[in-house]
């Protein structure tokens, strides 16, 4: 995450915008942390999530840790609960060949996903293959291919979980390097949306060349050229989604803070305040 709320898992690839065709942080702006807080609560119990980013000496994004907190037990109960991401490179290559995602609950490993990024073109990632090992379950394997047609990206995935395979096709449309809409043809229930952005640069690091807007858990990452200002659609349980984001910016034009509001009721309801640390 990082993040923006109300959507379910559909995609794992990220869009590279500021860094053309590489995982390098060439802008010289390195996001160190992103912290979500509930301003209606008192510190330290106001922290909802803390995301930390790491880079190597070649300015490549190599690590991310997303920690969630239970506001009923500030800084204690959920410490160590969340996700970690590790990106691996060969030599001085700027594109990773492997992304390992681990999910923890109070420091106990729940499952591990190894995503092998198999092939790229000038347009973007062409194919990946990943295996998820879940505690108490057999392995779940996925193979995903990507097609690029102008401003449209089509992701086709085949999942082979215990009990049989499933098939899903997702189409995203980009404008000015930002994903502005998604149509998910999942046979059960897809995640569909339209999105709007500001004109300021997005600081979140990218590790893969042009792919999909990340949608996972209850979050949507900001990993586009610009910063998401509004998203309207339905989630994977057919619930309506309408969220708006208001930013302040630093002297370099990057976001300093963001406040998210839920508009599904027709009136703004505060969700969280995000703080960017560089």
Per-residue pLDDT tens digits of the chain, which is 278 residues long: 333 333 333 322 222 232 233 445 555 688 999 999 999 998 888 888 999 999 999 989 999 999 888 766 554 544 557 889 999 999 998 888 998 999 888 778 888 889 888 888 877 888 888 887 766 665 677 888 888 888 888 888 876 655 556 667 888 888 988 889 988 876 555 678 899 999 999 998 875 544 444 443 333 443 578 999 999 998 877 889 999 999 999 999 999 999 999 999 999 999 999 999 99
Written as six digits, the tokens of 133 are: 């090992």
Instruction: Single out the residue of 217, 212, 174, 168 nearest to residue 195, CA to CA.
Output: 174
Alpha-carbon gap, residue 161 to 174, rounded angstroms: 31
Note whether 224 and 153 are within 8 A (CB).
no
183 vs 193: CA distance, rounded Å: 7
CATH architecture of the domain covering 4-277:
Beta Barrel (2.40)
CA–CA separation, 164 vs 153, rounded Å? 27
Q: Single out the residue of 83, 34, 77, 76 nearest to residue 272, CA to CA.
A: 34
Task: Report how far Cα 203 is from the mean position of its chain's Cα atoms.
Answer: 13
Domain boundaries, the chain: 4-277
CA 214, 223, 93, 170 dihedral sign is positive
Nearest-CA neighbor of 68 among 88, 32, 38, 24?
38
Question: Alpha-carbon distance 73 to 51, whole Å?
Answer: 19
Please name the residues in contact with 122: beta carbons below 8 A apart, sequence gap of 6 or more: 21
Whether pTM > 0.85 for this model: the answer is: no
């Amino acid at each position: 995450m990082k993040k923006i709320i109300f959507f379910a898992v559909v995609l794992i690839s990220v869009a590279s915008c500021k860094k053309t065709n590489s995982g390098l942080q060439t802008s010289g702006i390195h996001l160190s942390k992103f912290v979500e807080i509930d301003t209606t609560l008192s510190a330290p119990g106001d922290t909802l999530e803390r995301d930390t980013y790491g880079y190597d000496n070649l300015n490549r994004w190599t690590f991310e840790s997303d920690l969630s907190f239970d506001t009923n037990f500030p800084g204690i109960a959920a410490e160590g609960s969340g996700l970690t991401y590790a990106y691996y490179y060969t030599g001085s290559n700027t594109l990773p060949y492997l992304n390992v995602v681990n999910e923890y609950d109070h420091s106990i490993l729940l499952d591990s996903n190894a995503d092998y990024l198999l092939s790229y073109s000038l347009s973007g990632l062409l194919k990946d293959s990943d295996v998820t090992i879940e505690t108490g379950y057999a392995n779940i394997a996925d193979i995903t291919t990507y097609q690029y047609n102008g401003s449209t990206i089509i992701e086709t995935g085949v999942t082979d979980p215990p009990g049989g395979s499933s098939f899903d096709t997702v189409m995203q449309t980009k404008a000015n390097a930002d994903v502005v809409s998604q149509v998910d043809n999942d046979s059960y229930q897809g995640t569909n949306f339209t999105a709007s952005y500001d004109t300021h640069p997005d600081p979140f690091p990218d590790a893969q060349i042009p792919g999909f807007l990340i949608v996972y858990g209850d979050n949507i990452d900001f990993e586009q050229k610009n910063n998401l200002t509004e998203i309207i659609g339905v989630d994977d349980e057919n619930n309506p989604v309408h969220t708006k984001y208001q930013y302040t910016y630093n002297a370099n034009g990057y976001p300093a803070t963001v406040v998210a509001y839920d508009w599904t009721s027709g009136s703004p309801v505060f969700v969280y305040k995000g703080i960017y640390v560089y």
